[in-house]
Amino acid sequence: MSTKTTLEWTGGMSFDGVANGHHITLDTDSKWGGQDQGPRPKPLLLLALSGCSGMDTVSLLEKMRVQNYKFKVDIEADSTSDHPITYHTIRMDFRFWGEDIPQDKVVKAVTMSIERYCGAHAMLSRSANIISRIFINDEEVTK
């Protein structure tokens, strides 16, 4: 199975990207010749990572019949200083809120995502140290 995307230059430092039939504008700020009309490419990698793990986690929790919760993934990454500038450390915080959230199921779903299912995690973990934490109602839980 292959995946195809298209990226078309629209002037300045702005590009129109198409993936799965959806358009996204990529750009940079004026310091680098852009107009800040869209996200930069590397942060999109982080968004893809959180989307991949987030979708896995929600799907697994649904199969485990976990309901009535709020969920988000926060990511912060540290970059190298030499070119090519890459992320050397990525911190992922999986945050859940709700009443009676089963900690064991949440831990299992997140762990299965990052260790088995999320292809973005598998790819990025080959070049960066990815540190994952889980929070339920703002309290960190152990895996």
pLDDT for res 142: 84
The CATH number of 1-39 is: 2.20.25
pTM of the model: 0.93
Give the tens place of pLDDT for each residue, 21-47: 999 999 999 999 999 999 999 999 999
Per DSSP (E only), the strands in 55-86 are 70-79
Ramachandran area for residue 64 (φ above 0: left; ψ -120 to 50: alpha; else beta) = alpha
Asked if the bond preceding 43 is cis, omega within 30° of 0, the reply is: no
pLDDT for res 68: 96
Q: Which residue matches tokens 């990525």?
A: 90
Give the tens place of pLDDT for each residue, 57-115: 999 999 999 999 999 999 999 999 999 999 999 999 999 999 999 999 999 999 999 99
Amino acid at 97: W
| Domains of the chain by residue range | 1-39, 41-141
Res. 1: pLDDT tops 90:
no
Fold of 41-141: GMP Synthetase; Chain A, domain 3 (3.30.300)
* Nearest Cα to Cα of residue 113 among 132, 97, 99, 128: 132
Could you give the 3-state DSSP secondary structure of residue 75?
strand
Q: Label residue 130 by pLDDT band (50, 70, 90).
A: very high
* Nearest Cα to Cα of residue 24 among 12, 37, 34: 37
CB-CB contact of 40 with 26 (8 Å): yes
